[in-house]
Amino acid sequence: MSAADRHPSTTAWTLWAACFLAGCGTLAALGLSGCSAGEGSGSSAATEPAKAAVVSFLDAIKRGDDAAACGMLTKVARAKTQELGLSVAPPVNPSATYSIRDCEMVGDSGDLVHVATTWTDTDADGFTSTDNVVWVVRLDPEGWRVVGMAMKVFDDLAPLLLNFEDPEDMVAKQELVANEIQKRSEQTAAKAAAENRTARGDSPTTK
């Protein structure tokens, strides 16, 4: 069961993804060949600079440094998100933690890496959750920069694939994610109400 299924408001990290990145960039656009959480080739020295870029990006988000976080995006992503006034460093809890997992070089060009991470956070209700996020990092003229991400919001749906260079698509999908969360919350409430009626021995109301 995903964090969104367990808790109607979802985790802080999932909300950040939904509010800023809620979109589904195409697999081809992001080069995400299945988004396997970055298993494999994690020990390659060639991927260390890409890992370091993700660390800088996430550290900036943790301390609320929007300028530094923006600086770790590709030039196109930085321009596009700033044009729409999208923040890449939303407020996060001071207790939130992340860890860098394995990563893999994608393709033969040597300029695209998937970096797998975990993000653990506790919301205001004391609900702690851990989300797995795969960051897509590309070698640009400025160096390794974040171009997109993929994460599972709902276990029974495909991963949320996000292209930071297409913020219009991300904004459009904010509504899709919000609607799905609302729908599942309503379904959960309806199921609980039905179970309560059954437990009390109530008969279904008919008109």
Domain contains 49: yes
Centre a 10 Å sphere on the Cβ of residue 92 and count the other Cβ atoms it contains.
Answer: 18
Beta carbons of 184 and 5 less than 8 angstroms apart: yes
Under the phi-then-psi rule, with left for phi > 0, alpha for psi from -120 to 50, and beta for the rest, what region is 167?
alpha
Beta carbons of 105 and 95 less than 8 angstroms apart: no
Domain contains 149: yes
- Which of 151, 32, 3, 15 lies closest to 92, judged by CA? 15
For 99-130, write each residue's pLDDT tens digit. 998 888 887 888 999 999 988 887 778 888 78
DSSP 47: G
CA–CA dist 164, 147 (Å, integer): 5
Beta carbons of 106 and 129 less than 8 angstroms apart: no
Domain contains 67: yes
CATH number at residue 37: 3.10.450.50
Structural domain harbouring 30: 3-196
CA–CA dist 163, 166 (Å, integer): 6
Query: What confidence score (pLDDT) does residue 142 get?
Result: 92
Query: What confidence score (pLDDT) does residue 18 get?
Result: 45
How buried is 85 (Cβ within 10 angstroms: 0-12 exposed, 13-18 middle, 19+ buried)?
A: exposed
DSSP string, 76-97: HHHHHHHHTT--SS----TT-E
Domain contains 207: no
**Total structural domains within the chain:** 1
Domain contains 203: no
Residues in the chain predicted with pLDDT less than 70, given as ranges, are: 1-44, 173-174, 202-207
Domain contains 205: no
Domain contains 42: yes
